[in-house]
Structures are given as structure tokens and as C-alpha cells.
Chain A
Amino acid sequence: MLEKDIKDISVELEYPMGMLKDSSTADFLAKVHARVKARWKSGFSESSFRRILYCAGICVLVLLVAIFFSLVIASLPAIRNFGIWFLSGVTWDPVRSEFGAFPFLVGTLATSFLALIISVIFSIPLSIFLGEYSAQGATSTFIKSMIELLAGVPSVIYGFCGLFLLAPLVRNLEMKLGVAPYGVGIFTASLVLSIMIIPYSASIGREVISLVPSDLKEAALSLGATRFEVIRKVVLPYAGSGIIAGILLSLGRALGETMAVTMVIGNSNFIPKGIFSPANTLASAIANEFTEATGSLYLSSLIELGLVLFIVTTVINVLGKLIIRRMGVGV
């Protein structure tokens, strides 16, 4: 054993060096030291690390279930009073305590899906461009950071921009079309939402597309496929489920978005008649009326709106996961 090893061992194990000069003790202690070090590195940290990970996972699950149950408990007065008719009720009248969630449900689904359609038109080409055509280089890095910046802008700012910049433009369009020139409504809200949710699907789509194995693409190219055909027939099918997962994420974001929507949707508690009518969404109604709500039926109806939003988001996520599984390959 080297002098240095003996010194190290004696310091780490705080064992007097003199006693280690004896080689058999030194050997024994070296073996002990080696085993302790090995176990510290793999055994002890391995199992406890795994336990920490399990705990983190279970914590998230417990939190989710707890949120669900607290929503249910807090909305019990409304559930008992309205039952399932809450979902189909069209009146929201705090003075007479008649509450129905249908107009909000329609508003939420209409704005979210319209926003999704508009954003997909931009985000899929964007992810193909950044994943395939311009994967490296200054332009690509610049565009990537711009997209991430879009995601970082606070939603209130989107609301302000929507109200002061976009609404006048939409108003001009409505006047040209001969519709009531509100400027705010489902169309404006969907436009604002679509810009907000582009980053989520674009980033994930780009990641998945860049992960397509190059030998697949090269095989197709070597068989004579054009770049466009490679994308259509090799890259997109392979990355399909990942792109859908990104789109699902952006849809989830759109369903729950509150501040930006409430500023540009017109806040009219009626079922919207067309794309330019004002409407209201579940999240926006809760945000607007929660602080002033007095009376347990009013409050619990608002919380039941939150419960409905929770369930709608969960259902859409589950459906989305089924679609992804059907598509098979990929993420």
C-alpha cells in the first residue's frame, strides 16, 4: 500500500495512522474502506434515490386527487341544488340564484378549438422548418429563442395587446363585414389565444422532428424521394404522435387561460351566436365574479364551474392520449 493511501484512509476513517502501519490491519481497513465507498456510491444512494423519486410521483398524484376532492366538496351546495342540469342551464343570474354553465362551456370550447386550429396552421410548418430545414445556424437559434420568448410573455400583456392593438383591427373588419362592431368577442379571443399557444406545440414538434433517425430519412432520399416527400412520408408519420402530444399541451393551455381571454372576449353570459359575438369562458367567469360573490350558492356555483373546467381538461387529455396511442410509433 502506498504511503498516500494509508494517509488518506487514516484521515477519512479518523483512525490513528500509527496503527495502520501494520500491513494486515491496513489491508483489512482498506477492504472495509473500499466496500463502504462502493456501497455509498451505489447501494445506499441507489435505493434512497429511487424512494425519493417514488415519493415525488406519489405527491403529485395525491395533490391532483386532493384538488379534485376539494373542488367537489366546495361545490356541493350547487351540485345538490342544480344536479346535472347545471351543465345544460343557460341562465347565469346571481340576483335570482339561477346558475347554469352551458354558455361558459360553449365559450371555452369554441375559443380553445378555434385557437388550436389557427395555431396549428403556424406551429406545424414552424416545427418542420426548425426541425428539418434549418436545424442549425444563427437564424434557427434566433427563431427558436423568439418562440420561447412568446411563451414567456405574461398573459396580462397579451390581454392588453389584444384589447388595444387587435380589437380595433377586428372592429374595422366587422364594420366591413356589416356585423356589430364590438371588436371583442370569440374571434379576437381565439386570435390572442392562438398566438399564446404556438410556442408549446412548436417547441415540442421541433424536438420530435429533429429526433427522427437520419438513417430513415437517408434511406428514403436514396430511393429517390424529394425532400417534401421525405417529410410527408417519413418524418411526419414518425413524429406524428409527438406532434399531437404538443398540440394537446397547447390545447390544455388554451382551455385554462384566464387573464388574456377575459379582456377580449366581451364577457357576455349568453351562448354566442356566431364567431364575432361576445361570449364568456369558464375561467374568465370565475376570475371576474369570485371576489364579489356572496352567498354560499353563488360561491359554490363558481367553484362548480372550476370543477367542470377540471373535468373537461381531464377528458380532453385522456382522449388525446388515446389518439396518440392509436398512432403508435414515436414519443
Chain B
Amino acid sequence: MKRKVFALRMNRVLCFITVLSILLVLGNKGMAKQTELIGAGATFPYPLYSKMYDVYHKEYGVKVNYQAIGSGGGIRQLISKTVDFGGSDAIMSDKDLAEASAPVLHIPTCAGAVVLTYNLTGDPQLRFTPDVIADIFLGKISKWNDRRISAINPGAKLPDMNITVVHRSDGSGTTFIFSDYLGKVSAEWKEKVGTGPSLNWPAGLGGKGNPGVAGLVKQTPGSIGYVELIYALQNKMPYGMVKNKKGKFVTATIASTSHAAETNLPDDMKVSLTDSDAPEGYPISGFTWILVYKELNYAGRSEEKAKELVKLLWWMTHEGQKNAEPLHYAPLSKKAVENAEKLIKSVTYNGKPMMK
């Protein structure tokens, strides 16, 4: 009697488990049928991409899944061909391009600015010159009331405090843009430290992510750190004006960031905007790119997916740009959009260009 009841109960449980697992598997299968594009990469543009893809899904019904795992992660995933596109704040190095073994296009989507935020009593508006910034981060200028800082800030009351440098502890595109700028304006920085998403910082504390650096600077009196403009604005932290190449002290704004792109832009858009020639441009700016293979027939991708990807890229650089300013991102300048159009038109599937 007991065995029969037990057997009956086991049967019911097994049936339930089988039905449940079938439903779980089917749930995922259904999703794969409709076109879904997968991207991964930089965290900097993630809020913007999030909004863009939400709007795109409502308008065109195509779902785009973007994982903000970092520029390095995005490049790695693109090289291993597991994603449709990658997002990166840094240009792919020659080593990475060689590993990718097929041409990769860098299509810019927006620009961002890196600002120097600090913690001093009274929140004075400070001005910085390139050599002073480099020497602060090299550890050579160690006090706030150093002659060189007070020389460019005649009105400000600078305390006799040690400067605590705060940098990023994790690899990031923000660090790449900042170190790229410092490498251009300081030969000593270029030799000692170099440019990259992760560096051997000569001095200071590390915070994780933009929020980590902002948090440490907010808490530590006498500290200075570099963050994306958005974080300084949202946390209402003071940030300094920086002298650009043309000698003008510029405050970072959306307009000055877009201005920095008004220089000669190369066709492949693999350009750094730091220390640009633009007279009104903020010198510590940079593009963020979407990386796609030029030839989209790889790892069994269909032509339909390729078409959808190209449509998405076109939309992101045209209609999608209106989402940038409300979120404090700098939209692409006209010349940048023109170059981006040329790049998108060169994307092919089996040699056939996807967009005329």
C-alpha cells in the first residue's frame, strides 16, 4: 500500500519537474526567435545606451541587450565573437586588432569630458594648467598652497594642506582619456606612466569606478580626483577649469565637449580628442565608440541580423542623438556624424554593403 502511494507521488513529482523544465527551456527559445542584438563594453555610456535602446525597442520592436562590463571586456567579447558589437572608450590597440584578425570599425556615438574635482573648504573655483595637473598626479606638487597653483589662482585662498591624489583602482576608459591627455602635455608622464585603461599610478589612493573616486574625494579633505563630468554634476562637486591648447581656460560643459571635436577628424574616427586644437574645446574630452566588424558574416550570423545592426548604428548616430543632452552626454558634431555615416555605409555582409 505504502509502496503504491509512494510510487504514485514520485510519478507526480517527476511529471511536474519535467513540465517545469520544458517550460523554462521553451521560455528562452521563444526569445531567440525575434531579432535580438547583443553588445557589451564600456560603462561610461551605459546610461545613454540604456535610454537609447529602450526608445529604439519602443519604436522598432528590436531588442538590444547591452552589458556594461567595461571597455576591456567589450573588446574581449568582440574578439571572441560572442557579441554583435562592443562598446569602448579606448581605441583598440594594435595587439587587439591583430587578435581580432578581421577589420574592426570604430563608430563614435557620443563624447564625454573628464573633469578634475577637489575637496577644499569653501568650494573655490580653481583653474589648472596642463603641467600643474601632470605634476600633481605625478606626486611632484604635494601642497595646495604651492607657488605654481597659487600663481594661476590669484584670488583663491589655498590652504597649507597636503594634496591627496585619488585615481581609479579599476581599469577604465575614463583613465584612458585622462592619461592620454597627460601623455600629450607632459613628456615625463609619457615616459614614467604612459597611457592606458590601467596604470601604475605614482601616487594616491584608488577608488572603484567613477562613484568610488567621487566618494573618496567628497570624504577626504584636500583631495583631488578625476571623474566623468556627469558624476561631478550629479554629486554637485566643484571641478576646475582647464587651460586648453589655445591658451583659454575652459569649463567642461556639453557645448565645450562637443566643440573639442571640431578639429580634423580622420576617416576611421580613431582619434583622440584630448588636447585638441579647437579654440573653445575642453581639452580632456574623448569619444566613446561602438566597435563592429566590417564584415558581418561571422560565427553564423544571418543577413537579417546584419541589416538590423546597421539600422541600429544609423539610428544611434542620427535620431538617437537627441537622447544625449538630457543625460549630460555631448552629442556628435556634424563632421563626426558625416564620418560615422561613411563608416556605417562601409559595413558589408558577404562583401555586399548593407546600406547604400
Q: How far is the CB of B1 from chain A (nearest CB, A)?
A: 5
A268 touches B206 (CB 8 A): yes
B208 touches A92 (CB 8 A): no
Collect the chain B residues with CB atoms within 8 Å of residue A96's CB: 194, 200
Closest to A163 in B: B215
Which of B46-54, B69-77, B249-257 forms part of the interface with chain A? Answer: B69-77
Collect the chain A residues with CB atoms within 8 Å of residue B201's CB: 268-269
Say whether B292 faces chain A, with CB atoms less than 8 Å apart: no
Q: How far is the CB of B293 from chain A (nearest CB, A)?
A: 17
Interface code A189-230, partner B: CB below 8 Å = 1, 0 otherwise? 000000000000000000000000000000000000000000
B170 touches A291 (CB 8 A): yes
8 Å CB contact of B171 from A181, A268, A292? A292
Collect the chain B residues with CB atoms within 8 Å of residue A280's CB: 169, 206
A95 touches B193 (CB 8 A): yes
Count, chain B residues at interface, CB 8 A: 41
B170 touches A168 (CB 8 A): no
Collect the chain B residues with CB atoms within 8 Å of residue A171's CB: 219-220
- Report how far A8 CA is from B73 CA in the complex, Å: 67
Say whether B95 faces chain A, with CB atoms less than 8 Å apart: yes
Interface code A166-184, partner B: CB below 8 Å = 1, 0 otherwise? 0110010000000011111
Interface code A293-312, partner B: CB below 8 Å = 1, 0 otherwise? 11100100000000000000
- Report how far A269 CA is from B203 CA in the complex, Å: 9
Which of A66-74, A233-241, A259-267 forms part of the interface with chain B? Answer: A259-267
B194 touches A291 (CB 8 A): no
A262 touches B169 (CB 8 A): yes
Say whether B205 faces chain A, with CB atoms less than 8 Å apart: yes
- Report how far A262 CA is from B93 CA in the complex, Å: 29
Say whether A320 faces chain B, with CB atoms less than 8 Å apart: no
Interface code B205-237, partner A: CB below 8 Å = 1, 0 otherwise? 111100010011001111000000000000000
Say whether A46 faces chain B, with CB atoms less than 8 Å apart: no
- Report how far A240 CA is from B220 CA in the complex, Å: 44
Q: Interface majority SS on A: helix, strand, loop or mixed?
A: loop
Say whether B146 faces chain A, with CB atoms less than 8 Å apart: no
Say whether B283 faces chain A, with CB atoms less than 8 Å apart: no
Count, chain A residues at interface, CB 8 A: 36
8 Å CB contact of A94 from B95, B198, B222? B198
8 Å CB contact of B219 from A11, A168, A269? A168
A11 touches B1 (CB 8 A): yes
A180 touches B204 (CB 8 A): no
Collect the chain A residues with CB atoms within 8 Å of residue B2's CB: 12
Instruction: Output the residue of A8, A168, A292, A298 with the most chain B CB within 10 A.
Output: A292
Collect the chain A residues with CB atoms within 8 Å of residue B73's CB: 291-292
- Report how far A278 CA is from B169 CA in the complex, Å: 12
A180 touches B162 (CB 8 A): yes
Q: How far is the CB of B81 from chain A (nearest CB, A)?
A: 16
A292 touches B169 (CB 8 A): no
Closest to B212 in A: A263
B200 touches A182 (CB 8 A): no
Say whether A93 faces chain B, with CB atoms less than 8 Å apart: yes
A94 touches B171 (CB 8 A): yes
Say whether A288 faces chain B, with CB atoms less than 8 Å apart: yes
B171 touches A289 (CB 8 A): yes
Contact status of A292 and B198, CB under 8 A, knowing A168-B219, A184-B216, A267-B169: yes
Interface code B304-342, partner A: CB below 8 Å = 1, 0 otherwise? 000000000000000000000000000000000000000
- A-B pairs with beta carbons under 8 Å apart, 24 shown: A12-B3, A91-B200, A92-B200, A94-B171, A95-B193, A96-B200, A163-B219, A168-B219, A182-B164, A183-B219, A262-B208, A267-B169, A267-B206, A268-B204, A288-B206, A289-B198, A291-B170, A292-B71, A292-B172, A292-B197, A294-B72, A294-B96, A294-B197, A295-B96
Listed from nearest, the 3 A-B pairs whose CB atoms lie closest are A292-B171, A267-B206, A267-B169
Residues of B within 8 A of A (CB): 1-4, 69-73, 75-76, 93, 95-96, 162, 164, 169-172, 193-201, 204-208, 212, 215-216, 219-222
